[in-house]
Structure 1
Amino acid sequence: MNQLDQLKSLTTVVADTGNFLQLAQFAPRDATTNPSLILKAVQSADYAPLLTDTVAAHKGLALDEIVDRVLVRFGLEILKVVPGRVSTEVDARLSFDKAATLARARRIIGLYEAAGISRERVLIKIASTWEGIQAARELELEGIHCNLTLLFSFCQAVACGEAGIQLISPFVGRIYDWYKKSAGAAWDEGQQAGANDPGVKSVAQIFNYYKMHGIQTEVMGASFRNVGQIQALAGCDLLTISPDLLSQLQKLDAALPLALDAAAAKQLDLPKVSFDEAAFRFALNQDAMATEKLAEGIRLFAVDSAKLDQMIVS
């Protein structure tokens, strides 16, 4: 049995792509998208007509509504291939605007429901800012489930758990990137691999804390740089993986041991912590990696959102 099949017996495998034509070969349960993935997809010949057709069908609407219809159109195609859920992202430029995030999330769900898709099959992706987490808290109470993304710190994870969020996406690879760049010539790849990888350690800490305290929020490791990071998180609730790394796992036949164990985590003695807004902002401020990567992630997604806007209006 290859490692992708073994992983599926331990963890829910999610495809991290806007390329729905590629999904079937990996048979993931869920799929996630983001502005960068959608932008990449619509620039290819396979998907350009989808953008063109959607824009043509909705001329006269406000630009932001056309964008949401493009995102939902991709989501609808993905849901024809995966049996589970698709994650669709609210514009990253709204990451500090709770009211606008709520409005866009409700509209996206409305578009899916108008197309006959139950809200149970959609996760609204929102950046893990304080405003984003509080918007998601309200959405969850309405039965609109959320995927809190751009999550780099323990305080973000704790706040999401306290808010009753459905799912979080800690970014393994981007954490790894920061520590590797920060260490410079002193970085030892061998010493920082597997369970010692800083991104892996962050997800393991969150996973163990959630399981020990009975927090129902799902943990989905994201943003992987190599298969070693994935192998070191086997047993996590979900892992969202790019097609390239899914393909690599399919070619590996070695045994894949369980790395994260929910039952074992319940036996740990981890103190319960809580963050109000002031404590959250201070804790995030004290974590240079998380502060920098959150800001950078929002900027990068905002750039790609603006590029998608330009493709629509041009």
Structure 2
Amino acid sequence: MPKTLLEQLRAMTTVVADTGDIEAIEKVKPQDATTNPSLITAAAQMPQYQSIVDGVLLDAHKQLGEGASDKDVANLAFKHLAIEFGKRILQIIPGRVSTEVDARLSYDTEGTIKTAREIISLYEKAGISRERILIKIASTWEGIRAAEQLEKEGIHCNLTLLFGLHQAIACAEAGVTLISPFVGRILDWYKKNTGKDYKGAEDPGVQSVTRIYNYFKKFGYKTQVMGASFRNTGEIIELAGCDLLTISPQLLHELDSTQGELPRKLDPEKAKAADIQKIPMDKATFDKMHAEDKMASDKLSEGIEGFSKALENLEQLLAKRLAEIESRQTVSAD
């Protein structure tokens, strides 16, 4: 029987599920899983996960005491909620889960380090080894410096919101475990700014990840490349052979229900033979390249803003949910 595109992809690339939906992860059986504030917010609103949300809220309320405001409880609860979803996901998958640091700390190196240590500590208290966790941090210069320190402590990092080669090189030189260049968001920017549509290898997001992958393999960096944020299966097909790809359940299902040949597009041996110039990276070079790359600077600030807004929405959702629980408890006490 002919193999599906997903079966062939798994033979050359580690497939990761990009979702906070535990049921969807059970269906697609990925090696790893990634979450972000938007995905956790979406999952937290699904009826089947209300017991998880309620449990986290009540624990946070107990921890802070009776005098705590709903807002303070919600603020503590959202940190624990991502970890609670992460713990459940790790019961299903054999590999690692990525859990994100508060996006509002994206330009705060010390704040990012402190939060990352807290996340790891909460997982370890639950009996989960730090080897199974990737801390997601935005690819700002400050975030990359935080990741460099965390990696020295044996805390593995996944640098996200990555759009430009300068961000990727800085991450590789900092020795981070993994980077997540955003294919679909790059495509979105070019479509909006040029009015053109792009297909296959012409897709600027595909070209960006291909360039980063080839650069890393050419110069022997250990940092792995995980293409993320896909808009269609065509982008995934063009990146077959990438170290990892994190894919939504919907696109995983499309790949699993499609048969046909899937040739390898990214190959470390070909990359080693490629004519690529090395770019020495320091803060001045990073800042200059970032300022010159309008797409990367636009999408990084927009991504941080979007994830920060998702966190605020989640906090509001949790505060509302807590008020409902308290109201029910008051009624039953009466």
**TM-score (norm: length of structure 2):** 0.91
Which amino acid letter does the alignment assign opposite residue 113 of structure 1? Answer: E
Whether 1:105 aligns to 2:107 is no
Equivalent in the alignment of 1:222: 228
1-structure distance, mates of 2:111, 2:76: 13
Equivalent in the alignment of 2:36: 34
Aligned pairs for 1:1-314 (under 5 A) are 1-59=3-61, 60-61=63-64, 63=73, 64-184=75-195, 187=196, 189=197, 192-314=198-320
Deviation at 1:92, TM superposition (A): 0.4
1-structure distance, mates of 2:212, 2:125: 36
- Indicate if the aligned counterparts of 1:32 and 1:240 stay in contact, CA closer than 8 A: yes
Task: Provide, for residues 139-181 of structure 1, a one-character-per-residue CA deviation record: whole Å limited to 9, x for no partner.
Answer: 0000000000000000000000000000000000000000011
Task: Provide, for residues 231-286 of structure 1, a one-character-per-residue CA deviation record: whole Å limited to 9, x for no partner.
Answer: 00000000000000001001110111101001111111211112211221111011
Which amino acid letter does the alignment assign opposite residue 246 of structure 2? Answer: T
Which amino acid letter does the alignment assign opposite residue 7 of structure 2? Answer: D
Say which SS state the counterpart of residue 88 (structure 1) adopts. strand
1-structure distance, mates of 2:194, 2:222: 35
**TM-score (norm: length of structure 1):** 0.97
Considering fraction of residues, name the structure with more helix: 2
- Indicate if the aligned counterparts of 1:87 and 1:123 stay in contact, CA closer than 8 A: yes
1-structure distance, mates of 2:246, 2:194: 27
- Indicate if the aligned counterparts of 1:159 and 1:274 stay in contact, CA closer than 8 A: no
Say which SS state the counterpart of residue 273 (structure 2) adopts. coil
1-structure distance, mates of 2:108, 2:77: 20
2-structure distance, mates of 1:95, 1:249: 34
Task: Provide, for residues 209-250 of structure 1, a one-character-per-residue CA deviation record: whole Å limited to 9, x for no partner.
Answer: 000000000000000000000000000000000000001001
Equivalent in the alignment of 2:68: none
Say which SS state the counterpart of residue 48 (structure 2) adopts. coil
Structure 1 runs, 4 residues or longer, greater than 4 Å off = none
- Indicate if the aligned counterparts of 1:2 and 1:250 stay in contact, CA closer than 8 A: yes
1-structure distance, mates of 2:228, 2:50: 27
1-structure distance, mates of 2:214, 2:271: 5
How many pairs were matched up?
309
2-structure distance, mates of 1:225, 1:46: 27
Instruction: Among all aligned residue pairs of Structure 1 and Structure 2, give the percentage whose two residues are the same amino acid.
Output: 54
Deviation at 1:24, TM superposition (A): 2.1
Say which SS state the counterpart of residue 219 (structure 1) adopts. strand
Say which SS state the counterpart of residue 47 (structure 1) adopts. helix
Task: Provide, for residues 30-71 of structure 1, a one-character-per-residue CA deviation record: whole Å limited to 9, x for no partner.
Answer: 000000000000111011221111110221435544222111
Unaligned segments of structure 2, at least 5 residues: 65-71, 321-334
